């Protein structure tokens, strides 16, 4: 099987890394840009690639500890388009309950240790995807993405993060691809990443990966959120480093009105506080009731200058996070963004399994 020249050239341009994709920051310098180029080429050649089946004989297992529509479907369809087999695993629904603690005496519920489970899966498949949200334990532990790290340590095959406590790198790839599609040359354009209200305390993974996506494109990224909803210091530092390396900038403000001025892209997402009073269930409920409405994204927010395009990773709570008029209007790009999950992940699969 020979790939079309344009696909082979784009694949050859992606630098190799150790194989795991847990934060999206693993590829060496230029790697994310090369993955985006490959994603664009795969999108333009997907009919031919489906005929050639470059990943025939390869198997990818997606293990979903938490619900998903887009990630599950886009990874499954990306595998199908490249000829790979996708296995969908749902712990808690027909799989043994897993133990993650080292040296645990397993005399309670857990029937299998991740050491064996991951290693066995690694004997069956060529790569493993994992979705596991934070369990609202200590943030110092959650931020290390312990479930992902445990599988990565023991699987012996590349592990892809399908959303964890700290990062959603496949979403970040799609976000960057969508902003490139919308803006042509994103460098120097303004991306506003805004906190949004939500009744639940959601992970901050999409926010981290979103600001990294904008910064890696050399955009002027402005993160805005109410006081008390600060992102993790390491995530902020990574965004600043990426912006610096790629000719962009990264700033944080609690002033929503100031942030929205002159935006080219407005990306909304809710996340729960990990420290301070809003980090408790009661504190979050109080914050939600006082901020609901004030941080809702409306069409007027997008039309403060040249109209900004609206992004959200989905699923989204209508008229809590964003008004109907935005989602149903011409400025929304959320469906293109969701479609780009497919092309970004197809590129990632080729880079991991198709050399
Ligand atoms: N954006 C995203 O990850 O969607 P799902 O939760 O449906 O997979």
| Cross-strand partners of 161 | 130
Query: Are residues 290 and 348 located together in one domain of the fold?
Result: no
Query: Are residues 193 and 151 located together in one domain of the fold?
Result: no
Ligand 1 center from residue 202 Cα (angstroms): 12
Ligand 1 center from residue 74 Cα (angstroms): 9
Task: Give backbone dihedrals phi and psi of 26, rounded to 5 degrees, phi first.
Answer: -70, -40
Tokens of 35: 């993955």
CATH of the domain at 13: 3.40.50.1370
Ligand 1, atom nearest to 74 Cα: 8
Query: Are residues 214 and 321 located together in one domain of the fold?
Result: yes
What was the pLDDT predicted at 210?
A: 98
Ligand 1 center from residue 168 Cα (angstroms): 9
Question: What pLDDT tens digit does each residue of the chain (355 aa) get?
Answer: 799 999 999 999 999 998 899 999 999 999 999 999 999 999 999 999 999 999 999 999 999 999 999 999 999 999 999 999 999 998 877 889 999 999 999 999 999 999 999 999 999 999 999 999 998 789 999 999 999 999 999 999 999 999 999 999 999 999 999 999 999 999 999 999 999 999 999 999 999 999 999 999 999 999 999 999 999 999 999 999 999 999 999 999 999 999 999 999 999 999 999 999 999 999 999 999 999 999 999 999 999 988 999 999 999 999 999 999 999 999 999 999 999 999 999 999 999 999 9
Distance CA 32, CA 30 (A): 6
Distance CA 196, CA 5 (A): 44
Ligand 1 center from residue 229 Cα (angstroms): 22
pTM: 0.97
Q: How far apart are the first and last CA of the chain?
A: 12
Identify which of 74, 163, 206 to mutate to test ligand 1's pocket (most ligand atoms within 8 A of the CB). Answer: 163
Residues 6 or more apart whose Cβ sits within 8 Å of residue 143: 165, 166, 232, 234, 274
Contact 94, 102 (CB under 8 A): no
Distance CA 341, CA 355 (A): 21
What was the pLDDT predicted at 91?
A: 84
What was the pLDDT predicted at 19?
A: 83
Ligand 1, atom nearest to 314 Cα: 1
Query: Are residues 296 and 151 located together in one domain of the fold?
Result: no
What was the pLDDT predicted at 137?
A: 82
Q: Whose CA is closest to atom 7 on ligand 1?
A: 69
Task: Give backbone dihedrals phi and psi of 41, rounded to 5 degrees, phi first.
Answer: -70, -40
Ligand 1 center from residue 113 Cα (angstroms): 27
Ligand 1, atom nearest to 72 Cα: 8
CA 182 vs. chain centroid, Å, equals 19
User: In which domain, by residue range, is 149 found?
Assistant: 5-167+340-353
Contact 42, 49 (CB under 8 A): yes
Ligand 1, atom nearest to 67 Cα: 6
Tokens of 198: 């939500």
What was the pLDDT predicted at 29?
A: 93
Q: Within 13 Å of residue 95, how many CA atoms lie on the same side as its CB?
A: 17
Ligand 1 center from residue 33 Cα (angstroms): 23
| Cross-strand partners of 130 | 63, 161
Look at the chain and report how many structural domains it folds into: 2
Query: Are residues 114 and 177 located together in one domain of the fold?
Result: no
Ligand 1 center from residue 315 Cα (angstroms): 6
| Cross-strand partners of 318 | 322
Query: Are residues 279 and 232 located together in one domain of the fold?
Result: yes
Ligand 1, atom nearest to 69 Cα: 7
Query: Are residues 268 and 290 located together in one domain of the fold?
Result: yes
What was the pLDDT predicted at 102?
A: 95
Q: Whose CA is closest to atom 6 on ligand 1?
A: 68
Nearest to 300 by CA among 339, 335, 326, 268: 326
Query: Are residues 293 and 154 located together in one domain of the fold?
Result: no
Query: Are residues 24 and 116 located together in one domain of the fold?
Result: yes
Query: Are residues 110 and 222 located together in one domain of the fold?
Result: no
Query: Are residues 66 and 192 located together in one domain of the fold?
Result: no
Nearest to 180 by CA among 33, 341, 11, 350: 33
Ligand 1 center from residue 342 Cα (angstroms): 12
| Long-range CB contacts (within 8 A, 24+) of 300-304 | 301/260, 301/266, 302/260, 302/263, 302/266, 302/326, 302/331, 304/260, 304/261, 304/262, 304/263
Query: Are residues 60 and 81 located together in one domain of the fold?
Result: yes
Give residues (CB < 6 A) around ligand 1.
68-71, 163, 171, 313-315
Nearest to 157 by CA among 259, 245, 260, 87: 87
Q: Whose CA is closest to atom 1 on ligand 1?
A: 313
């Amino acid at each position: 099987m020979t790939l079309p020249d344009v696909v082979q050239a784009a694949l050859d341009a992606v630098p190799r890394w150790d194989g795991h994709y847990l934060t999206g920051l693993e590829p060496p310098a230029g790697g994310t840009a090369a993955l985006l180029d490959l994603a664009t080429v795969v999108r333009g050649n997907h009919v031919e690639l489906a005929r050639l089946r470059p990943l025939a004989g390869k198997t990818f297992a997606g293990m979903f500890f938490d619900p998903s529509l887009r990630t599950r479907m886009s990874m499954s369809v990306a595998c199908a388009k490249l000829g790979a087999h996708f296995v969908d695993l749902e712990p808690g629904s027909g799989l043994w309950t897993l133990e993650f603690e080292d040296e645990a005496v397993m005399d309670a519920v857990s029937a299998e240790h991740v050491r064996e489970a991951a290693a066995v899966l690694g004997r069956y498949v060529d790569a493993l995807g994992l979705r596991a949200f934070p369990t609202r334990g200590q943030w110092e532990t959650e931020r290390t993405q312990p479930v992902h790290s445990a599988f990565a340590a023991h699987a012996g095959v590349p592990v892809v993060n399908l959303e964890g406590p700290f990062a959603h790198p496949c979403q970040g790839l799609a976000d960057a691809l969508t902003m490139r599609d919308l803006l042509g040359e994103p460098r120097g354009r303004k991306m506003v990443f805004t906190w949004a209200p939500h009744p639940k305390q959601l992970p901050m993974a999409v926010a981290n990966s979103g600001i990294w996506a904008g910064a890696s494109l050399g955009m002027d990224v402005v993160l805005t959120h109410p006081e008390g909803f600060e992102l993790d210091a390491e995530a902020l530092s990574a965004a600043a480093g990426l912006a610096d390396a790629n000719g962009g900038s990264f700033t944080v403000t609690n002033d929503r009105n100031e942030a929205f001025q002159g935006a080219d892209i407005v990306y909304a997402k809710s996340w729960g506080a990990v420290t301070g009073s809003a980090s408790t269930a009661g504190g979050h409920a109080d914050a939600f009731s006082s901020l609901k409405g004030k941080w809702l994204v409306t069409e007027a927010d997008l039309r403060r200058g040249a109209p900004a395009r609206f992004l959200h990773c989905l699923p989204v709570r209508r008229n809590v996070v964003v008004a109907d008029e935005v989602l149903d209007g011409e400025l929304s790009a959320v469906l293109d963004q969701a479609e780009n999950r497919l092309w970004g992940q197809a590129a990632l699969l080729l880079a991991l399994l198709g050399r």
